[in-house]
């Protein structure tokens, strides 16, 4: 079989998965606090090709020798989708239960020789009782007077308890339970705007009043960090790459059809 078939096929699959990530980003461009995914493409190990030659001076029985020709690419694959935790634009809504985290000023950490910017998240408790983190501060109040997310998950206070709204119907930003994630890439996406931590040492809630390098703004929300124009452009580039690999396969198909027709009896 032609090796190019496998290479082109892997390219089509990788571009399809990249297109899936871009489509997911575009679909969530209006989800507050959403962090776009980036499809990471990796190449399969290259193969070294050799040419088998006769022995010295072409003497009969001389051992055959292999001379290196070069390397041969064997295709690419989409390894994973990695969220990019850049802070989105913060816009004013004037709603009393909307909150946005502005953590532009957090200094990056050096992790494995590269700079990684930490991030601040709201702590929420799902209906199943699991602890998760979100940047979506578009909260509401349920029938019990608890501050909840759009899907009914309870927003936690600084002590890790459900946050109840006072008689005046308002909540202070200092009452919200926040966590600081030193390396956001340790988080696993569990929803369009939700993450969970599965490491050995989960982060604890920040003490009340601690806001070193960030602030929480009431009456604001953080928009998704998706640039629709750039995303559409990337989708078009991805589609062109997919079509290019498709044409390679079609070319191989015509070549094999031609070979099969050689010597065919009428």
**Same domain flag for 145 and 209:** yes
Residue 266 resides in a domain: no
Name every residue whose Cβ is closer than 8 Å to that of residue 31 and which is 6 or more positions away in sequence: 136, 192, 193, 224
Q: What is the dihedral of CA 133, 30, 116, 17, to 10 degrees?
A: 100
User: In 130-228, at which residue ranges do the beta strands (DSSP E only) sit?
Assistant: 131-134, 140-141, 147-148, 154-155, 178-181, 187-189, 194-197, 215-218, 220-222
Residue-wise pLDDT tens digits, 15-58: 889 999 999 999 999 999 999 998 877 665 565 555 666 555 55
Range of the domain at 103: 86-222
What three-state secondary structure class fits 172? coil
Place of tokens 């998965």: 17
Q: For residue 132, what are the β-bridge partners?
A: 124
Cite the beta strand spans of 103-176 per DSSP E: 109-111, 114-116, 119-125, 131-134, 140-141, 147-148, 154-155
Do 41 and 79 contact (CB within 8 A), yes or no? yes
Residue-wise pLDDT for 135-178, tens only, equals 999 999 999 999 999 889 999 999 999 999 877 778 888 899 99
Q: How big is the chain, counted in residues?
A: 266
Same domain flag for 121 and 133: yes
Find the helix packing angle between 228-261 and 3-27, rounded to 10°: 160
In angstroms, what CA-CA distances link 82 with 28, 39, 254? 15, 6, 38
Q: Is residue 9 included in any domain, yes or no?
A: yes
**Percent of the chain with pLDDT strictly greater than 90:** 46
* pLDDT score for 218: 94
> Does some domain include residue 32?
yes
**Residues 187 and 132 grouped into a single domain:** yes
Residue 75 lies in a domain: yes
């Amino acid at each position: 079989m032609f090796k190019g078939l496998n290479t082109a096929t892997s390219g089509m699959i990788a571009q399809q998965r990249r297109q899936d990530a871009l489509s997911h980003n575009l679909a969530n461009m209006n989800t507050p606090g959403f962090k776009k995914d980036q499809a990471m493409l990796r190449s399969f190990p290259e193969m070294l090709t050799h040419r088998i030659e006769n022995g010295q001076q072409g003497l009969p029985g001389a051992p055959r020798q292999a001379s290196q020709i070069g390397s041969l690419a064997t295709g690419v694959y989409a390894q994973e989708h990695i969220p990019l935790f850049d802070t989105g634009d913060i816009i004013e809504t004037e709603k009393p239960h909307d909150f946005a985290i502005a953590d532009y000023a957090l200094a990056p950490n050096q992790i494995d020789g590269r700079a990684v910017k930490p991030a601040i998240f709201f702590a929420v408790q799902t209906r199943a009782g699991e602890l998760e983190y979100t940047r979506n501060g578009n909260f509401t109040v349920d029938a019990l007077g608890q501050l909840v997310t759009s899907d009914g998950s309870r927003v936690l206070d600084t002590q890790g308890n459900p946050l109840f709204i006072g008689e005046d119907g308002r909540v202070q930003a200092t009452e919200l339970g926040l966590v600081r994630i030193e390396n956001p890439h340790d988080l696993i996406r569990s929803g369009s705007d939700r993450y969970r931590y599965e490491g050995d040492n989960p982060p604890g809630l920040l003490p009340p009043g601690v806001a070193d390098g960030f602030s929480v703004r009431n009456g604001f929300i953080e928009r998704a960090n998706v640039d629709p124009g750039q995303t559409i452009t990337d989708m078009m580039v991805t589609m062109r790459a997919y079509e290019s690999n498709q044409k390679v396969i079609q070319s191989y198909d015509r070549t094999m059809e031609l070979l099969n027709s050689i010597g065919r009896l009428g």
